[in-house]
């Protein structure tokens, strides 16, 4: 029997390593579900605190279901890769109207290389659209790439950005609820107001510790991504400079110039959708109406960027 080649073994090992954070989170979620419901809520029922226990169970399960749903969605949804796109002969033209709307769709990409040429990925052998970046871990170009997250073993991009953001929000609420409801019981035990078994006490201590540690990181992380969501800016765009096509030949390199900010409401709608507020809070797929605000390859820009970049100065002959 022949041994598998070293490249295959290396590939299997890397798959296990990449999947380990997801497995770890799965174990933590499963254990916390059991520890919270059995060792805290069931104990409250046994002590006669039925109303408190019922409220805890209801609140916990709503957040838990939404958190797991969002996590499953972001892990299983492709962020959107350029290699998956069919090459269209006709790109969407410039959208203009008599009342000059505050946002514009572009025929040509506005992000270019330093020499002014259009961005092209040498590894994928495909054009890089605006806000598209190559992920060295996924080994593909990702549409509207935000970052590669090891906790989901996936990239965060155009198609799963909503699920990722909702997972952040619900995971933060999950930690806060666990910490806020378990800590009083733990303090009561330490103050000899409540007497429980040592096993239950250990579960309470670990619940408070883990929810506190994860909460310390998740709260500022969620606030950061909420601000980025409202500004219509990805993590890569926040930290890295970009080269923008200025008129026909010039290039403007800037880290703080944000042409994608078309107003808080529309910025949020690009990610969470245009439906009622409750549809924004569930990890459902994008609707057709949302495609008008960006399709992963081109995005509307604000009026300031439209005028600053001199888009009108580009000849029609430059368009593909």
Report phi then psi at 140, rounded to 5: -150, 160
Q: Are the CB atoms for 92 and 298 separated by under 8 Å?
A: yes
Instruction: Say which of 141, 149, 155, 175 is annotated catalytic.
Output: 149
Dihedral sign for Cα atoms in the order 265, 271, 274, 280: negative
* Strand locations in the chain (E): 103-104, 120-121, 126-127, 133-135, 140-142, 147-149, 154-156, 242-246, 250-254, 301-302
The distance between the two most distant Cα atoms of the chain, rounded to a whole number of Å, is 81
Per the annotation, the verdict on 149 as an active-site residue is yes
Angle between helical axes of 6-34 and 198-231 (0-180°, round to 10): 110
Class of residue 238 by CB neighbours under 10 A (exposed 0-12, middle 13-18, buried 19+): middle
| Catalytically annotated residues | 149
């Amino acid at each position: 029997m022949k041994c598998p080649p070293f490249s295959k073994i290396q590939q299997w090992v890397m798959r296990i390593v990449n999947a380990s954070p997801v497995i770890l989170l799965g174990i933590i979620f499963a254990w916390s579900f059991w520890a919270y419901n059995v060792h805290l809520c069931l104990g409250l029922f046994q002590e006669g605190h039925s109303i408190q226990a019922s409220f805890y169970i209801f609140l916990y399960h709503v957040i838990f279901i939404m958190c797991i749903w969002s996590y499953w969605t972001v892990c299983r949804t492709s962020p959107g890769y350029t290699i998956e796109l069919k090459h269209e002969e006709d790109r969407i033209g410039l959208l203009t109207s008599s009342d000059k709307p505050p946002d514009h769709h572009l025929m040509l990409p506005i992000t270019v290389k330093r020499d002014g040429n259009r961005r092209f990925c040498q590894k994928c052998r495909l054009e890089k659209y605006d806000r598209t970046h190559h992920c060295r871990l996924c080994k593909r170009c990702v549409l509207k790439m935000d970052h590669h997250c090891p906790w989901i073993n996936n990239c965060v991009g155009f198609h799963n950005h909503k699920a990722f953001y909702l997972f952040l929000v619900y995971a933060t609420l999950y930690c806060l609820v666990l910490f806020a409801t378990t800590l009083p019981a733990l303090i009561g035990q330490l103050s000899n107001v409540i007497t429980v078994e040592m096993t239950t006490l250990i579960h309470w201590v670990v619940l408070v510790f883990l929810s506190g540690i994860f909460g310390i990181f998740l709260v500022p992380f969620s606030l950061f991504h909420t601000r980025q969501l409202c500004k219509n800016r990805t993590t890569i765009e926040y930290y890295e400079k970009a080269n923008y096509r200025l008129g026909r030949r010039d290039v403007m390199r800037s880290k703080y110039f944000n042409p994608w900010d078309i107003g808080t409401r529309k910025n949020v709608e690009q990610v969470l959708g245009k439906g009622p507020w409750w549809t924004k809070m569930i990890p459902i797929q994008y609707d057709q109406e949302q495609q008008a605000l960006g399709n992963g390859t081109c995005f509307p820009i604000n009026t300031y960027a439209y005028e600053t970049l001199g888009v009108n100065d580009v000849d029609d002959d430059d368009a593909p």
